[in-house]
Amino acid sequence: MHVLFVHDLVGNKAADSQAFAGKDKVTYADLQAYVSKYRDYFYATGIRTGDNVGLFSRNSVEFIYSYMAIVSLGAVVVPINFQLTAREVAFIVKDANMSRLVTMEYLPLERELEQQRYQQEVSQLVIADFSGMINQKTFPAAPALKTDFDENQPCAIIYTSGTTGTPKGAVLTHKNLISNARAFREVMPVTAEDNVLCVLPMYHCFSWTCAVLNSLLCGAAITILEAFAPKETLAAIKDYKVTVIYGVPPMYNFLARVGSREDLAGIKYCVSGGASLPEKVAQQFAEKYGQKIIEGYGLSEASPVVTLNPPQKPKYCSIGKALPGLEVKVIDAHGQVVPPGIVGQIAVRGPSVMKGYFNLPADSSNALKDGWLYTGDLAYQDAEGYFFVVDRLKDLIISNGENIYPREIEELLYAYPGILEASVIGVPDELRGQVARAYIVLAAGQKFDKKKVREYLQANLASYKIPRDYCIVDALPKNQTGKILKRVLREQACSS
């Protein structure tokens, strides 16, 4: 198969075809021209092959121009969550050994970097300052990449969200990202006629690979929204004639409660990832819009998509089948494959699996064994080859020696009238080691009846699985992709 680098995707369609729809209407010819200008400017500022360059920005065309220009120089882009504080950004800057940061606004990092004893000077290239200037001024053309630069060279370092501790940087090569976009295209029939919604944050691998890279690979148009707001998103879908949506469960949960069937009349596919999709949300969405949500599964370390439901035959609560070219198995604690229907850890091997964690050989060795990526996610496989995620290995609750999978309890709570969201964690217990605690968000105007909820759960669960207590909260802590931060709930439980 023809070798493609990630930056080659900007020239993957007829010049006059639309690359970006929405408020920014940009053709593929315009896209190539902008990336070329950014490339020349970045080279003039000193960015070279092998440099790790931070990218701190909200969703925008400038994010894509910057990303593509950086990697076209052979440098490695480090997308950074724009919600992070200066201290958290400084950690990534130091950990990735950066000297340059492309940013939407100047960040006060000096004091934080000094506290972390980072001696390297960090130049900030502020998009608002240089984006207009490079249209007025011409810089010398940056040289082409050397002929020995190949697809196995690093392209990006994706820092994990830190839901389980200190963030680690997953090193992804050009081959990792391109192979994942290609494999995804084999299952998802996106074409050059489609208009893909990009509302999830581009710094996250799910959004970048599926909504951006795969769209460019297919020659489709992309409608970019800075952030998700239900009514504004529905309006954009109608106004710009979006046909494909990539979202996370909380986004579909919101949409299931607002709007009308006509709002999504032009949609061909709705894809969900980033976290497990509750069955109740999938059913409510299908009832309202007549659209089945296609659920998939992945993680940054796999570029990220590992499995996806076939659009022509999705299964509720399943994360689908392995993408073409990937080997996926379910294993026990000894690394042996378990039979269908038995819960074990998901392991994946193939061209989209990361090189390793940046400068963390021990963590890399723990995660990668004989080419297999041990995901830490618990699942089982059915007789038809569909996978079903049960929970994170780290979220497993062990009470009196019995395994409790929080997702099983959460699915039941989601289905209970008046409950909008639920999350279950394990808390210490002197007698049983751990017991379950449920955090619940109620719909407006609803009151919580603990006795009735317990009776409902007792009719559906073994007694040892029933949460000991229930915390009613206004909202659950989440990261930008909609994943509930159970680490935060556990920390709150320990401090209370």
The enclosing domain of 446 has a CATH number of: 3.30.300.30
Do residues 417 and 361 both lie within one domain? Answer: no
Do residues 431 and 380 both lie within one domain? Answer: no
pLDDT of residue 161: 60
Single-letter amino acid, residue 452: K
Q: Is 231 exposed, middle or buried (0-12, 13-18, 19+ CB in 10 A)?
A: exposed
Q: Which of 340, 364, 393 is the last residue of a domain?
A: 393
Give residues with Cβ within 8 angstroms of 448, minimum separation 6.
Answer: 418, 440, 442, 470, 472
E strand residue ranges, 25-151:
26-27, 52-56, 76-80, 100-103, 123-126
Stretch 26-45: mean pLDDT: 97
pLDDT of residue 496: 65
Do residues 368 and 246 both lie within one domain? Answer: yes
Do residues 371 and 405 both lie within one domain? Answer: no
Do residues 325 and 419 both lie within one domain? Answer: no
What string of DSSP letters covers 193-220?
A: T-EEEE-S-TTSHHIIIIIIIHHHHHT-
Stretch 383-410: mean pLDDT: 90
Do residues 385 and 401 both lie within one domain? Answer: no
Average pLDDT, the chain: 94
**How many CB atoms sit inside 10 A of residue 247's CB?**
28
Do residues 98 and 43 both lie within one domain? Answer: yes
Q: Is residue 294's pLDDT more than 50?
A: yes
Give the distance from CA 120 to its chain's centroid. 30
Do residues 435 and 385 both lie within one domain? Answer: no
Give residues with Cβ within 8 angstroms of 16, minimum separation 6.
Answer: 27, 28, 29
Burial 102-132 (b: 16+ CB within 10 A, else e): bbbeebebeebbeeeebeeebeebebeebbe
Judge contact between 450 and 217, C-beta under 8 A: no
Confidence band, pLDDT 50/70/90 cuts, at residue 387: very high
Do residues 7 and 86 both lie within one domain? Answer: yes
CA–CA gap between residue 456 and residue 450 (Å, rounded):
10
Do residues 257 and 336 both lie within one domain? Answer: yes
The CATH number of residue 162's host domain is: 3.40.50.12780
Stretch 22-44: mean pLDDT: 95
Q: Is residue 165's pLDDT more than 60?
A: no
Confidence band, pLDDT 50/70/90 cuts, at residue 422: very high
What string of DSSP letters covers 296-335?
A: EEE-GGGSSEEEE--TTS--TT--BEEPTT-EEEEE-TTS
Q: Closest Cα partner for 144 from 8, 287, 289? A: 8
Do residues 123 and 51 both lie within one domain? Answer: yes
Give SS3 for 270: strand
Q: Is 85 exposed, middle or buried (0-12, 13-18, 19+ CB in 10 A)?
A: exposed
Judge contact between 405 and 426, C-beta under 8 A: no
The per-residue pLDDT for range 297-333, each reduced to its tens digit, is: 999 999 999 999 999 999 989 999 999 999 999 999 9
Q: What are the CA-CA distances from residue 141 to residues 3, 36, 73, 128, 144 (Å)? A: 24, 8, 11, 22, 9
The per-residue pLDDT for range 184-234, each reduced to its tens digit, is: 999 999 999 999 999 999 999 999 999 999 999 999 999 999 999 999 999
Q: Is residue 164's pLDDT more than 50?
A: no
Q: Which of 360, 393, 426 is the last residue of a domain?
A: 393
pLDDT of residue 163: 41
pLDDT of residue 383: 96
CA–CA gap between residue 436 and residue 462 (Å, rounded):
13
Q: Is the dihedral of CA 30, 242, 302, 325 positive or negative?
A: negative
CA–CA gap between residue 117 and residue 66 (Å, rounded):
28
Do residues 427 and 324 both lie within one domain? Answer: no
Number of structural domains the chain divides into:
2
Q: Which of 393, 426, 444 is the last residue of a domain?
A: 393
The per-residue pLDDT for range 50-81, each reduced to its tens digit, is: 999 999 999 999 999 999 999 999 999 999 98
Judge contact between 174 and 70, C-beta under 8 A: no
Give SS3 for 257: coil
Q: Closest Cα partner for 154 from 222, 220, 77, 221? A: 77
CA–CA gap between residue 80 and residue 202 (Å, rounded):
9
The per-residue pLDDT for range 170-191, each reduced to its tens digit, is: 999 999 999 999 999 999 999 9
CA–CA gap between residue 346 and residue 331 (Å, rounded):
7
Read off the pTM. Answer: 0.89
The per-residue pLDDT for range 72-130, each reduced to its tens digit, is: 999 999 999 888 889 889 999 999 999 999 999 999 999 999 998 999 999 999 999 99
Domain holding 204, by residue range, is 1-393
Confidence band, pLDDT 50/70/90 cuts, at residue 236: very high
pLDDT of residue 166: 75
N-term to C-term CA, the chain = 57
Report DSSP state, residue 395.
G
Overall size of the chain counted in residues = 496
CA–CA gap between residue 462 and residue 31 (Å, rounded):
57
Give residues with Cβ within 8 angstroms of 93, minimum separation 6.
Answer: 54, 101, 109, 113, 118, 122
